Chain A
């Protein structure tokens, strides 16, 4: 009896020790991201990682400030609660500037597979470069995104609608190539008595909703957020061209459902999926769900395109819209860098990225340029084309403050508590004050042109370049 008890105890102990050694052999790589389709895709793909001793664990938070704050708080305590994270391109400056992120150049130098040329140079720069133009990268374009346009093909292709539009506006009805055209088309389809509105867009105060949307107008009309050489904001953010752009954005709410001025992406999707909108400005990220008949009852008649551009006051055509998506960065305080690099070498192989790109937008050049991927659905080719029109805002460590100020003031313009000119003027003053407090020198030259794009990386073209035809 005593022998049996001893044997049983030994076996139990051996079992525990065995389990403990298996547990010890397992490495968990934790990542922070906002919850959603793309995070689920990463987790799904990671399950097939050949090294079964490595487990990828998601730590997901809702999209918005909590997501940024979760990453930032961990960096503040130099903690290793996560090993890698996806953050907005603009946050790279804040996190890398604080010295919390592993420099990708070191990984590129050591890895036999992970190299800068796996990714389009512009994408690598947008999602990982800090400071701009330095050639130092702190993130990989893991999940690219861009603003896009979705529209109701049944309305645009209806002979009756076409005839009515031509009778009213003297031109053919088509998916708009400029915001000037979009305004007319939106006005045409706005029929509140029938529950139909011409245009849906984000305008909410939360996180970056109003700013990403309004910037797309501002840049297309030739405006700029600031002059990166002199750090001047006044004169640029509130330049006549910037005001034109933001005014055009604010005016578009007239063609949206009442109250759409505080919408986020959920409301834009919900309204479009209920058939309330003829057109909507939305991230490509959501095209997968909006093309799914189980989610969108109008999926069969939903078309996907690229956002319009605008003919600015200088007569030039520009098409510029906000970059979305996130780069993948590595926590400097992670103690599992070798395992993580091995995982990334596997994850960024075309095989895995093709799976990812079936539901989200990869940053891997081999997949982006592949005809198979571009022909997979009605919008992938559009996305590949859209990349050239992306623009981004401040890559400065003060990004959260600058963003919040612009969010607040654009929101004031949307609600009508300030005119666009007042709102942008106030935003410029407050943002300059922020930069000055942070130690930046602002050279007040006061010679900002009416259309600042003409002096800061000009993109103006003489004629409209159609992309949605």
Chain B
């Protein structure tokens, strides 16, 4: 009896021993901040004035935020921005990645060059593009005027500012999709392409019926990562538009950061962060479930 129990309990101890550092670290790094965030969201207080104490606010921070039309505008803007830039990044990334999977002279050099924007800090990219998009002396309007078009006030008007931000984000992050797409495309066995060629399949058929479906799980992961990352975009907007004109390019993350560290309305910022967290988690869960189903099918 004893001899049968011993190995089992030793095994359990080992499992606990191996898992506990990670679990403790996760509890400290993830669970504790999230619980604190939720806890703070029910209070009115300012981290800048801790001596004034915390007043119980119940759901009033949530009520205030959800009844504020300004916050809804920021959600709408964030949604438009995410849709625009993720769509452009996926289309461009898959297209360029498909071309780059084929061997040609200078491919590695081109591949490395394409990766460069991704290595820049978003703040640096924001300032860089801010000057390039300057309506009077920026290189973008110089090129626009070369083609005989009128100069555009890219960052001074709400519509062009959204497009400008989406283009800059696409410039920065399409390389990420290219990287993953190329890796996924290269992982498809050559024999499948050879069989398709023998059967007389067209290039479009091969791309849509073989390449895309077989690399779908990897592309889907890329999509999830880009969706989450775009949804919490903040630093690019700080440098590129400062959230303006008006508040037309303020994302929800921008509003969270401003409320937390500029206004120091800690309770309200926590409530907004909780709302944002719920949305991102909900979105991620749907996509991850879809990914799991996709994996099961494959």
A259-B155 in contact (CB<8A): yes
Is B75 interfacial (CB 8 A cutoff)? no
B48-A94 in contact (CB<8A): yes
Contact residues in A for B48 (Cβ distance below 8 Å):
72, 75-76, 94, 98, 100
B245-A412 in contact (CB<8A): yes
Identity of the chain B residue whose Cβ is nearest the Cβ of A253 in the assembled complex: B156
Q: How far is the CB of A424 from chain B (nearest CB, A)?
A: 13
A205-B246 in contact (CB<8A): yes
CB within 8 Å of B: which of A395-432?
400-401, 404, 407-409, 411-412, 414-418
Identity of the chain B residue whose Cβ is nearest the Cβ of A68 in the assembled complex: B262
CB within 8 Å of B: which of A179-224?
204-207
Across chains A and B, the number of contacting residue pairs, with CB separation under 8 Å, is 102
A276-B156 in contact (CB<8A): no
Contact of B246 among A65, A76, A411 (CB under 8 A): A411
Contact residues in B for A10 (Cβ distance below 8 Å):
none
Q: Known contacts A72-B48, A401-B263, A404-B263; decide if A276 and B136 are in contact (CB<8 Å).
A: yes
Please report whether the interface of chain B is mostly helix, strand, loop or mixed according to DSSP.
loop
B246-A409 in contact (CB<8A): yes
Is A446 interfacial (CB 8 A cutoff)? no
The 8 closest A-B pairs by CB, nearest first: A205-B244, A259-B135, A206-B242, A415-B245, A412-B246, A205-B242, A257-B136, A76-B47
Is A370 interfacial (CB 8 A cutoff)? no
Q: How far is the CB of A92 from chain B (nearest CB, A)?
A: 13
In the assembly, what is the distance between CA of A99 and CA of B248, in Å? 35
Chain B 227-267, CB-CB to A under 8 Å as 1, else 0, gives 00000000000100111111110000000001001111100
Provide 17 A-B residue pairs closer than 8 Å at the C-beta atoms, listed in order of the A residue.
Answer: A65-B238, A76-B264, A94-B48, A97-B49, A98-B49, A205-B241, A205-B245, A207-B242, A258-B136, A259-B136, A400-B262, A401-B265, A404-B258, A404-B262, A407-B244, A415-B156, A415-B157
Is A327 interfacial (CB 8 A cutoff)? no
In the assembly, what is the distance between CA of A259 and CA of B262, in Å? 27
Q: Known contacts A75-B48, A257-B136, A417-B158; decide if A400 and B245 are in contact (CB<8 Å).
A: no
In the assembly, what is the distance between CA of A416 and CA of B159, in Å? 12
Is A271 interfacial (CB 8 A cutoff)? yes
Q: How far is the CB of B165 from chain A (nearest CB, A)?
A: 13
In the assembly, what is the distance between CA of A415 and CA of B242, in Å? 14
Contact of B153 among A65, A261, A411 (CB under 8 A): A261
Identity of the chain A residue whose Cβ is nearest the Cβ of B245 in the assembled complex: A415
Is B215 interfacial (CB 8 A cutoff)? no
Contact residues in A for B245 (Cβ distance below 8 Å):
205, 261-262, 411-412, 414-415, 417
Is B137 interfacial (CB 8 A cutoff)? yes
Chain B residues with a Cβ under 8 A of chain A: 46-51, 134-137, 151, 153-158, 238, 241-248, 258, 261-265
B136-A271 in contact (CB<8A): yes
Contact residues in A for B49 (Cβ distance below 8 Å):
97-99
In the assembly, what is the distance between CA of A168 and CA of B47, in Å? 59
Number of residues of chain A lying within 8 A (CB) of chain B: 41
Q: How far is the CB of B127 from chain A (nearest CB, A)?
A: 9
Contact residues in B for A205 (Cβ distance below 8 Å):
241-246
Q: Known contacts A68-B262, A259-B135; decide if A99 and B51 are in contact (CB<8 Å).
A: yes
Q: How far is the CB of B31 from chain A (nearest CB, A)?
A: 22
Contact residues in B for A261 (Cβ distance below 8 Å):
153, 156, 245
Contact residues in A for B244 (Cβ distance below 8 Å):
204-206, 262, 407-408, 411, 415
Contact residues in A for B262 (Cβ distance below 8 Å):
65, 68-69, 400, 404
Is A260 interfacial (CB 8 A cutoff)? yes
Give the interface centre of B47, B136, B247, B264 by most chain A CB atoms within 10 Å.
Answer: B136
Contact residues in B for A206 (Cβ distance below 8 Å):
242, 244
Q: How far is the CB of B21 from chain A (nearest CB, A)?
A: 28
